[in-house]
Amino acid sequence: MAKQDIATVILAAGKGTRLRSRRAKVLHRAGGRALVEHVVRAVQPLGAPIFVVVGHQAEDVAALVRPLGAQTVLQEPQRGTGHALQVARKSLAPFRRAIVVPGDAPLVRTETLAALVEAHRASEAAATVLTAVLENPAGYGRIVRGADGAVRAIVEEKSASEAERAIREINSGVYCFDLEKLWDLLAELRPENVHRELYLTDAVALLDRRGERVAAQQADAAEIPGCNTRAELADVDRLFRRRKLEELMASGVTIYLPETVVVDAEVEIGPDSILDPGTHLLGATRVGSDVQIGSGCVIADSAIEDGAVIRPHCVISQSRVGRGAVVGPFAHLRDGAELAAGARVGNYVEMKKSRLGEGAKAMHLTYLGDAAIGRETNIGAGTITCNFDGVRKNPTTIGERAFIGSGTELVAPVEIGDDAYVAAGSTITESVPPDALAIARARQETKPGWARVRRAKLAAEKSAAAKPLPPKANGSRPVAKPARAQRKPKRGKSSRPVR
Ligand code: UD1
Ligand code: CA
């Protein structure tokens, strides 16, 4: 049977000891995605079948990559990068070549991988290594070249001589292999190194010894960094963030002080939208065009439609803000909050699983939970939907053009009809029909002159208390005891009577 041309193998079974984490390295996130997810997405456009070698937290890694169309191969235990490829041998049987990519080097670009495959196909080489020249090559395998420029060996830092350590050309961990030449050679790998592992990098010297050519293709150093330490993870995250913001700015989004703005990989933003400093747009957030987002907003997995204005310091998750709607400052929309076009939510308003119809408003200090509110309705300051009875969440339904007075409590389940009024300060426990007025508060009693009478009474009491006491028989005045003397002795440890 004729072999298929090429497959992709992503090595993602390692633990990542240097991160000092209980979590597998490739599950750590940078730029809003797990490292391995970045790698899968980078190889996807190559169109080759994808195999991910999993081991540490195999199930979690598999759950992440399978929906992206990758298959997984279990490496258990993990005995090194060379062993990882041995384990994948069966899956790779139908293929002539493989492109191998480490799961912890998320910055590599699709074009770079495509160029590597292209170069490999065009050459006679049995393997082609993607390399880069780094200012500081510490921690990477060094590329040892022969006089003809071919790669003689890759030497891991820990086994490198002084002279080899001085080499600044390093191994990216990305390779293209002719598989037929690789398999029996992998069987010759020996764990003769500090980690007692089977190094894929040792395959290069073995190929060279057999008279096979190993070529090198240089890439931009910026695409190479792996995430072996938390400091490297932070660097990689920063690079992703900058890449993303540069793409957005190039597409017509204004971003002020971009070094303070965090935008996840999947976020989409339309042209002429403006992000103020300190904005965070996370997860699957979609922002339309001409949207303004004020300082300090954190928006996750939400849709903000064209022309909406989000004032500073709003927290919005899993919610939708319609066209031209205005939110904040200091508003909290969560779990399916929805503002129809032109609706407005002001400061200190929380909305959960609630919908404000077109042009409806809740401008101040309000909680709306499990509520559906019709168009043009006004929710007064301090309105609270009492949606939770201790056991269940109950709905509140308010019609169109209704007016809910300030300080209203709506004890759900309850319905307020279209065009109805609720008087300020009401505690509404029964539904209100359309066009009605509901008042549910104690009736006010006003006592004319009461305050004046009270003032006079208080003044009289005060002057009586201030009057000097009549002199005693001996003519002397009683002396008020000093306040201290009247105090009970402190019941401290020292003064407690011993029993
Ligand atoms: C590796 C290379 C090094 C290169 C560097 C580039 C080896 C021996 N060294 O070093 O030359 O400069 O990458 O980033 O290959 N993995 C498995 N199974 C295992 C061990 C590792 O799947 O048994 C996976 C890891 O999850 C990781 C990748 O392989 O995603 C690379 O392993 P890692 O331990 O990070 O290798 P480095 O020491 O960085
Ligand atoms: Ca690594």
Phi and psi at residue 171, to the nearest 5°: -85, 125
Residue 493 lies in a domain: no
- Residues 136-150 have pLDDT tens digits of 999 999 999 999 999
Let me know whether 145 and 218 are in one domain: yes
Let me know whether 201 and 281 are in one domain: no
Model confidence at 470, pLDDT cuts 50, 70, 90, reads: confident
Quote the longest CA-to-CA distance of the chain: 131
70: domain CATH number is: 3.90.550.10
Cα of 173 vs centre of ligand 1, distance in Å, is 7
Question: CA-CA distance, 294 to 290, in Å (whole number)?
Answer: 13
Let me know whether 217 and 251 are in one domain: no
pLDDT: which is higher, 497 or 386: 386
Let me know whether 31 and 175 are in one domain: yes
Q: Which ligand is nearest to the CA of 27?
A: 1
Residue 307 lies in a domain: yes
488-496: average pLDDT: 50
- Residues 106-132 have pLDDT tens digits of 999 999 999 999 999 999 999 999 999
Model confidence at 479, pLDDT cuts 50, 70, 90, reads: low
Task: Give the residue numbers spanning the domain of 117.
Answer: 4-223
Cα of 46 vs centre of ligand 2, distance in Å, is 23
284-290: average pLDDT: 98
* In the predicted structure, residue 272 carries a pLDDT above the cut 90: yes
239-257: average pLDDT: 97
Put residue 278 in one of left, alpha, beta given phi > 0 → left and psi -120 to 50 → alpha: left
Residue 192 lies in a domain: yes
Select from 294, 238, 299 the least CA-distant residue to 268: 299
Question: CA-CA distance, 135 to 143, in Å (whole number)?
Answer: 14
Residue 236 lies in a domain: no
Model confidence at 485, pLDDT cuts 50, 70, 90, reads: very low
Let me know whether 219 and 252 are in one domain: no
Cα of 18 vs centre of ligand 2, distance in Å, is 10
Model confidence at 16, pLDDT cuts 50, 70, 90, reads: confident
Cα of 30 vs centre of ligand 1, distance in Å, is 18
Instruction: Give ion ligand 2 contacts, CB < 5 A.
Output: 104, 226, 228
Task: Write out the DSSP string of 3-17.
Answer: PEEEEEEEEE----G
Helix (H, G, I), strand (E, B) or coil at 247: helix
Model confidence at 17, pLDDT cuts 50, 70, 90, reads: confident
Model confidence at 473, pLDDT cuts 50, 70, 90, reads: low
pLDDT on residue 478? 54
Let me know whether 203 and 308 are in one domain: no
* In the predicted structure, residue 173 carries a pLDDT above the cut 60: yes
Question: CA-CA distance, 360 to 34, in Å (whole number)?
Answer: 40
Q: What percentage of the chain exceeds 90 in pLDDT?
A: 90
Residue ranges of alpha helices (H) inside 69-178 are 81-87, 89-92, 110-122, 162-165
Q: Please tell me the residue having the least CA distance from ligand 1 atom 37.
A: 140
Average pLDDT, the chain: 94
Residue 471 lies in a domain: no
264-287: average pLDDT: 97
pLDDT on residue 498? 42
Phi and psi at residue 79, to the nearest 5°: -115, 30
Residue 473 lies in a domain: no
6-35: average pLDDT: 94
Q: Please tell me the residue having the least CA distance from ligand 1 atom 36.
A: 81
State the closest ligand 1 atom to the C-alpha of 12, by its place in the atom list counted from 1: 26
Residue 202 lies in a domain: yes
Q: Which ligand is nearest to the CA of 35?
A: 1
417: domain CATH number is: 2.160.10.10
Model confidence at 499, pLDDT cuts 50, 70, 90, reads: very low
Residue 343 near residue 363, CB atoms below 8 Å: no
Model confidence at 495, pLDDT cuts 50, 70, 90, reads: very low
State the closest ligand 1 atom to the C-alpha of 199, by its place in the atom list counted from 1: 8
Let me know whether 177 and 264 are in one domain: no
Select from 327, 290, 286 the least CA-distant residue to 304: 286
Give the Å distances, CA to CA, from 459 to 450, 453, 456, 467.
14, 10, 5, 13
154-175: average pLDDT: 96
Let me know whether 70 and 162 are in one domain: yes
pLDDT on residue 468? 77
- Residues 397-447 have pLDDT tens digits of 999 999 999 999 999 999 999 999 999 999 999 999 999 999 999 999 999
Model confidence at 477, pLDDT cuts 50, 70, 90, reads: low
185-194: average pLDDT: 93
Let me know whether 319 and 192 are in one domain: no
Q: Please tell me the residue having the least CA distance from ligand 1 atom 29.
A: 11
Q: What single-letter DSSP state applies at residue 289? A: S
State the closest ligand 1 atom to the C-alpha of 15, by its place in the atom list counted from 1: 26
Q: Which residues of 225-249 are buried (b: 16+ CB within 10 A; e: fewer)?
A: bbbbeeebbeebbebbbeebbeebe
* In the predicted structure, residue 241 carries a pLDDT above the cut 70: yes
User: Per mean pLDDT, which range of 161-165, 229-233, 476-480 is the poorest?
Assistant: 476-480
* Lining residues, ligand 1, CB within 6 Å: 11-14, 25-26, 53, 55, 75, 78-81, 83-84, 102-105, 140-141, 154, 156, 170-173, 199-201, 226, 228
- Residues 442-463 have pLDDT tens digits of 999 999 999 999 999 999 999 9
* Bond before 329 cis per omega within 30 degrees: yes
438, 470, 490 - which closes a domain: 438
Question: CA-CA distance, 182 to 78, in Å (whole number)?
Answer: 19
Model confidence at 492, pLDDT cuts 50, 70, 90, reads: very low
Q: Distance between the two ends of the chain, CA-based, in angstroms? A: 101
Cα of 188 vs centre of ligand 2, distance in Å, is 23
CA 379, 342, 326 angle in degrees (round to 5)?
A: 75
Residue 306 lies in a domain: yes
- Please tell me the pTM assigned to this model: 0.85
Q: What percentage of the chain exceeds 70 in pLDDT?
A: 94
- Which contacts (CB < 8 Å, 24+ apart) does range 287-290 have? 288/323
202-216: average pLDDT: 96
Cα of 150 vs centre of ligand 1, distance in Å, is 22
Let me know whether 388 and 421 are in one domain: yes
36-56: average pLDDT: 97
Q: Which ligand is nearest to the CA of 53?
A: 1
Catalytic residue IDs: 364
State the closest ligand 1 atom to the C-alpha of 84, by its place in the atom list counted from 1: 18
Q: For the chain, what is the domain count?
A: 2
Let me know whether 210 and 63 are in one domain: yes
| Strand 50-54 versus strand 71-74 pairing type | parallel
58-86: average pLDDT: 97
Let me know whether 272 and 371 are in one domain: yes
Q: Please tell me the residue having the least CA distance from ligand 1 atom 30.
A: 103
